[in-house]
Amino acid sequence: MSAVAEVADRPAFYALRPGGWRDLITILHPPYTAWHLSYVAFGAVAAPQLHPPRLWAALGAFFLGVGVAAHALDELNGHPLRTRLSDRALALLAGIALVGAVGIGIVGIVVVSATLAPFVVVGAFLVLAYNLELFGGRFHSDFWFAAAWGSFPALTSYWANALAVDSVRQAVAAAGVTLACFGLSIAQRRLSTPVRELRRRTVSVSGVLSLADGTARELTPARIAAPLDAALGALSASLVLLAVALVAIRI
């Protein structure tokens, strides 16, 4: 098997062999879903008081909205992960998951605070606008990726626990965690975009890397993809561990 074929054999480093239950795991983009759920935890721990039931509910809502609905809609657009799930199954999965996420949000509006309503509306809008590339794809960009899947989960979780910004200290905490998650999502995008292109669209790679000591290394898809995939995997695992540790400290 050629170097290109070895990399292109899987559309993502975490993709399983197509078919059956494996497709359901693959479309979740497990490392990325876990990565973005860590932002929910960061938002909660930045709040003056952490309410565990609200954190669990937020994690459930974003798992359904981002992990399931958004990713199912993404796979519906051309099957980039090459799963064998039908368009009908993907649409049904996305619809059920989005309804579930909104349902959790509505419960939060009734039980916790009506101020959560804008977050529920904006969240549902972002899932549809970004992944269906509505409005001519205006919301399908690096900026909106970072805003929708980075800043928004963190800010929503912060507000669900704080329900107010009563001091400069709280404002700094809310803004800091929101912007940090935005930046982390930009970093994710900068790493994932080239490796995604390499795995899904590249036909051939040619070239030689010449070092100062005279060493020559052939450029291959595997050589280019390996550090990108490794960085993405390490960042995902590290952010999840950090989120778990911070929540454990606050609970």
Residue-wise pLDDT tens digits, 94-110: 999 999 999 999 999 99
> What residues are paired with 218 via a beta bridge?
208
List the one residue out of 192, 115, 182 whose CA is nearest residue 153.
182
| Region 184-197 average pLDDT | 92
Instruction: Give the number of residues written for the chain.
Output: 251
Judge whether residue 31 has pLDDT over 90.
Answer: yes
Judge whether residue 80 has pLDDT over 60.
Answer: yes
pLDDT averaged over the chain?
91
